Amino acid sequence: MEAGGAGEVDHLAGERATAQFDVDHMKVAWAGSRHAVDVADRMARLVASDPVFRKDNRTMLPRKELFKDTLRKAAHAWKRIVELRLTEEEANLLRLYVDQPGYVDLHWGMFVPAIKGQGTEEQQKKWLPLAYKFQIIGCYAQTELGHGSNVQGLETTATFDPKTDEFVMHSPTLTSSKWWPGGLGKASTHAVVYARLITEGKDYGIHGFIVQLRSLEDHSPLPGVTLGDIGGKFGSGAYNSMDNGVLRFDHVRIPRDQMLMRLSQVTKEGKYVHSNVPKQLLYGTMVFVRQTIVADASKALSRATCIAVRYSAMRKQFGPQTGGPETQVLNYKTQQSRLFPLLASAYAFRFVGEWLKWLYTDVTHKLEAKDFSTLQEAHACTAGLKAVTTSATADGIEECRKLCGGHGYLNSSGLPELFATYVPACTYEGDNVVLLLQVARILMKTVSQLASGKQPVGTMAYMGNVQYLMQCKCGVNTAEDWLSPAAIREVFEARALRMAVNCAQNINRAPSQEEGLYELSPDLLEVAVAHIQLIIVTKFIEKVEQDIPGEGVKEQLRNLCNVYALYLVHKHLGDFLSTGCMTARQGALANQQLGKLYAQLRPNAVALVDAFNYTDHYLGSVLGRYDGNVYPALYDEAWKDPLNDSPVPDGYREHLRPLLKQQLKLSRL
């Protein structure tokens, strides 16, 4: 059943009637524009109405069938994209709503961007049309069995042979086996492989190469190439639809022009030439994908909160001592204090994701004009926001499962699979701890430059206000004072800066900078988190300050923004107190205001998740159904389990019957 379909009984109608804002306009605020709402709606319904894209049986499929189902869906999606002549925007949305991880994600999400970002114009002309028409399928083969985070530690070699004008790709050790790349195991014909470039006897470090892996005739691995899937992963269904793979090379030769040569080149004679650009541009594909992962975090968290809010509104437990109807669990203050910050976070991540996309586009234009000044800002923001939003989203999905009680543990709730599919986002595209340490190092560098008068820019500009922020006092006197965006912004800036300065001072006391960074790394993580949370809060405040049409929409967004910020104050009160940014009394007032905001949010909760405009197909949850008619659906769903195919289970004759007979004999004794 789909959102708002005709002829349904809406069990959540009462909830929808209490909304104090125009849901249709909120859909526009969430999606970014009326056009974005319309096109997403069209694609979501197209997928939902196509039986090939059915996914309610996914968690019951054995791995081989699941993988075949993924191939079928990907091929069918491509057929529909071609038949309907969908635009790139429409095609991306269609794939999103198919909602099954598969090789196409890596083909479009990493292989194509890697060639675009690191290939010369000539290379792009040769390879991109093949990729665009799916005449080749590509993946991104960087991580190895022995090294993932430490990219400079990769071991695969690409040794140039001037005699034949070729590179020889080789995996010298077991640990140099490529391990994890999605789409590599079974589907890809090609890969962008990251390997140590060796020419004239010298190791020039990691570079990208386009390598054909499988025959375009019969899909068998090419000579010298060993390929396979790395095995089953966490959860049922979930990321098991993806063929994460292993790859080994035994002296495989590729033409010289398959080295991605936009950043550096090897001449016919074997001379290494590095263009006058920062080496870190090699990491450009990761920066691009980290940015998309932030946008995806809001999608995953909004799905989980949509399920938990709708279910909490229909689920009833206990009731007043005086008798009468049972209480909707959404009315319990504890349920609200666990759920509403997650709902607010989904909105916060949506808007910071929108801003990050803008930043990424801006930086890309500057890089094209050979202006590299914002590269560090792009790295810090994408790495930090990727880490903070994915960790909060993974934790948030699990919290939503608990918020749905026992039924949340059923696969039919959609939450176990959503969690299992989502949680590797904390690891892929950079382990979150490793990424936060990158942000912290940049913050430490910025602090050390303050003394020399260098003014920080971009999202670190606030650090330039060091004199004021190190000594300012929070002016909050009443709970309502916490509704001031200026007050909120100031305490978040002061907290982030003071934590950074304290940590930098502690590092300076260590025998060496390196030792200090090592010893204080747990503190550095917290410094990075404080800085990134400041960015998210600031971008949410800026969003709310914009012109937002629709009755009551701005007010709701302001509430959500305040919930997000004050929830963080409450959660990290220790940081705010220990840095002297506020008093314990002001912390208590923040919590008091938070309680009031939850009460204001309560009548709008269901409408706020309706504004995500998700179809029941995309949600994939019996508990999150638009119509709220959960119990009959849960009951029906149970009977679909293969275990219920027969009333007497397989194994009865061999294992249950003999046992039961034996007990019978014993009882006769």
Ligand X SMILES: Cc1cc2nc3c(=O)[nH]c(=O)nc-3n(C[C@H](O)[C@H](O)[C@H](O)COP(=O)(O)OP(=O)(O)OC[C@H]3O[C@@H](n4cnc5c(N)ncnc54)[C@H](O)[C@@H]3O)c2cc1C
Contact positions with ligand X (CB under 6 A) in 433-452? 433-434, 437
Residue with tokens 């590797």: 424
d(CA 78, CA 98): 11
Contact positions with ligand LFZZZEXQ (CB under 6 A) in 170-229? 182
> Which listed option, ligand X, ligand LFZZZEXQ, none, makes contact with residue 95 (CB within 5 to 8 Å by class)?
ligand LFZZZEXQ
State the sign of the Cα–Cα–Cα–Cα dihedral 329, 331, 336, 340.
Answer: positive
Q: From the CB of 621, what's the least distance to ligand X, in Å?
A: 22
Active site residue 551: no
Nearest-5° Cα angle at 380, 375 to 384: 150
Binds ligand LFZZZEXQ by CB under 6 A, chosen from 57, 159, 175, 280: 280
d(CA 563, CA 86): 39
Contact positions with ligand LFZZZEXQ (CB under 6 A) in 483-522? none
- Number of chain residues interacting with ligand LFZZZEXQ (CB under 6 A): 28
SS (H, E, C) 322-366: CCCCCEEHHHCHHHHHHHHHHHHHHHHHHHHHHHHHHHHHHHHHH
| 305 belongs to an annotated ligand binding site | no
Structural tokens at position 462: 């606030």
Q: Is residue 488 a contact partner of residue 404, using CB atoms and an 8 Å limit?
A: no
Strands 178-179 and 225-229: unpaired
Nearest-5° Cα angle at 582, 576 to 585: 115
592 binds ligand LFZZZEXQ (CB under 6 A): no
Binds ligand X by CB under 6 A, chosen from 123, 124, 142, 336: 142
d(CA 661, CA 666): 9
- The catalytically annotated residue of 90, 399, 429, 493 is 429
| 587 belongs to an annotated ligand binding site | no
Q: Is residue 207 a contact partner of residue 264, using CB atoms and an 8 Å limit?
A: yes
> Which listed option, ligand LFZZZEXQ, ligand X, none, makes contact with residue 447 (CB within 5 to 8 Å by class)?
none
Q: Which of 156, 163, 186, 159 is nearest to 70 (CA)?
A: 186
The residue number with the shortest CB distance to ligand LFZZZEXQ is 109
> Quick one: which segment of 25-33, 430-438, 488-496, 620-628 binds ligand LFZZZEXQ (CB under 6 A)?
430-438
Q: From the CB of 286, what's the least distance to ligand LFZZZEXQ, in Å?
A: 5
Strands 225-229 and 202-212: unpaired
Cα–Cα separations (whole angstroms), residue 298 to 31, 353, 355, 394, 539:
11, 8, 13, 11, 14
Binds ligand X by CB under 6 A, chosen from 236, 280, 364, 427: 427
Binds ligand LFZZZEXQ by CB under 6 A, chosen from 151, 457, 466, 577: 151
85 to 114: interface string for ligand X, x by CB under 6 A: ---------------------x--------
363 binds ligand LFZZZEXQ (CB under 6 A): no
Binds ligand X by CB under 6 A, chosen from 244, 285, 336, 393: 244
Cβ-based nearer residue to ligand X, 265 or 427: 427
176 binds ligand X (CB under 6 A): no
Any residues with CB less than 8 A from the CB of 372 and at least 6 apart, and which?
277, 278, 366
Residues with catalytic roles? 429
The site for ligand LFZZZEXQ (CB under 6 A) is made up of: 92, 95, 105, 108-109, 140, 142-143, 148-152, 182, 280, 283, 286-287, 289, 292, 375, 379, 428-430, 434, 438, 442
